[in-house]
Amino acid sequence: MADDTSPDDAPEDAPAPEPNPASGQQGGPPAGESEPMEQHDALLALLKGAGFNGNAIVETADAHGGLVVRVANAQWKRAAEVAKEHLACDYLSFISGIDWQPAPREGDEAGGDSSAPVQPTEMTFGAAGSAGRFQVFAHVQSTTKHWGVTFKTDVDDADPRVESWVPVYAGADWHERECWEMYGFTFDGHPSLRHLYLPFEFEGHPLRKDYSLLARFVKPWPGLVDVEPMPGEPAGSESPEGSAGVTPAESSEPLETGEA
């Protein structure tokens, strides 16, 4: 039978609740689930205790419950070493790039999605700021301590480069190749920066904001692919709403599958 006695019904001389052995606090969260701010303070103390302080840390921020540490470019690889050796961060979640430059616009259609939220017209830097247009950032996680840190660093606009994390986290290999390919950032010490997605003769870096995507010139962006005729439907038979309005299941014409 279920116990429906509420705490208000407990006798006055009832013993106090036992403290949570994991947290050392009555009714508190178990170890590893402390308040984020307390955990961030502990992580920063570990960083500084490992000698990672002074000019190494440019700025810190709490963003969406996570700790963001912006480090000097020259200390980027050292940040990985300290994270792994002193913060027990044994898992590299990802490495990627940021281009803070707003997407260029030529009118409401050619410049990109003009729907809400309104796209920025000036560079507005996120958590922990930036000194310029480009940044590299990485997130590492501890599978034993159940905490994580996001590191970020500024890279030069004209010659964006930073040391590779591959000697520290082997999993950085794939992420750095992708970042090199898409943003044009060089990772010094990477064993083999080569294309993942694009042909080797491809020119440009598609995730830079000023890279012109041919698709945006051929078709206004986004999403107007819906006006294309459906398979089996003659071209130019758009519905009044601007879409083909005919699904393959509704069409009386057989689909051209290319099969004999």
- Predicted pLDDT of residue 227: 56
Per-chain mean pLDDT for the chain: 77
Q: Which residue has the higher pLDDT, 11 or 131?
A: 131
Please state, in angstroms and rounded to a whole number, the distance separating the CA atoms of residues 52 and 83: 10
- Predicted pLDDT of residue 150: 97
Instruction: Encode pLDDT of 25-48 as tens digits.
Output: 333 444 444 577 889 999 999 999
- Predicted pLDDT of residue 4: 42
- Predicted pLDDT of residue 104: 73
Which tokens sit at 56? 């190494």
Answering whether pTM is above 0.85, one says no
Q: Which residue has the higher pLDDT, 215 or 170?
A: 170
Within 8 A by CB and 6+ apart from 168, the residues are 77, 80, 81, 84
- Read off the pLDDT band of 16 (50, 70, 90): very low
CB 99 within 8 A of CB 133: yes
Instruction: Encode pLDDT of 78-126 as tens digits.
Output: 999 999 999 999 999 999 999 999 877 655 544 455 555 667 788 989 8
- Read off the pLDDT band of 154 (50, 70, 90): very high
pLDDT beyond 90 at 211:
no
Lowest pLDDT segment from 111-115, 126-130, 167-171, 226-230: 111-115
